[in-house]
Structure 1
Amino acid sequence: MPRLRAGRVILQFGDGGLILLAPSVEAAVARFLSDAEIRLEAGGIFVGSHRGPHVEITACTTPLPRDVRRPTLFDRRDPGHSAAALEAWTRSGGTETFVGEWHTHPVDDPMPSGLDRRTWASIMGRVPDPVVFLIAGRRSVWCAHGWRGELRRAAVLDGE
């Protein structure tokens, strides 16, 4: 993503909780911020693990064939996203799972829309564990940690 240095991205929310984003995940998301891709929103899920108050994101999905990509909408419809989370859960013996979702906005500095917030509230109502929501723009990201219906904005601490 344009505003972060190469390496593991660390974001902080609330009272010291961290979101660790693996370099491979950052690279996968950044691919959809290129001039050729940014015209249409893209997205996917985050896979990783909960470590106390922290969330470690080790993998993500990217747009799949049945997903809808429009200039102002990404609709995750392909069952491959859920299959990826289930496969990670099975492969890891239950330590890795769905930990959130990401999508792009074709703007420099993204902000969540009303639809984004309603979708996230629905996810928080179905998922008992904390989740991460990230919107990537051309110049920056908007990221939050969500749990029990509450969103806590995350700030970039480090890009090493």
Structure 2
Amino acid sequence: ARQRNVMRHWLAPLTRLPDSDHWAGWEALRDAAQDARPLWRLADGALHRAQGCIWWLPAGWEQACSEAVNWADPRAPLDLPENGQVSLEGEAPLGDLSVRYRQGAEVMHLSGRGRRDLKRLLNEQAVPAFLRGRWPLLYRDDELLAVANLPGLDGSPNERWRLRWVAPTGDQSLS
């Protein structure tokens, strides 16, 4: 009963609360095996469990972003359609920059490690699979330069810049 009260308090500003029969979804999410990817769909979004955390994703947030956005002036923050904002800290890399999203088969060159599959790098950083399609990637032409907010992947140590992402905020935010 105490867990339900805590969940009701947390969920109340995010979604319409489920009826008493629908609370079995919370128990299934809570009690699922450690390696499972449990999901509890609610009226205005869904709860996911990954890496020992519970994540609230508003409706529509599970849809991956697909639209590339050219970054004409990387000295200024870039608004991403329905996905917050990115900015560069430090001196921006030279060349034609764009922000894109994961499509599959991306490869990134890491100093001292060579070329690595992005999927493997995201696994190493414990980025939940349900977030990967919205995680901003910085490209120069067709070269993947950075993955926002992930230490060791978010910029160039030699050039001293970092890609920062602020996810969308508001009543229905990523929690």
**Global fold match (TM > 0.5):** no
Q: Which has the higher contact order (CA 8 A, sep 6+)?
A: 1
| Range class of TM-score, shorter chain | under 0.3
| TM-score (ref. length: structure 1) | 0.25
**Greater radius of gyration (CA):** 2
Looking at secondary structure, tell me which structure has more strand per residue. 1
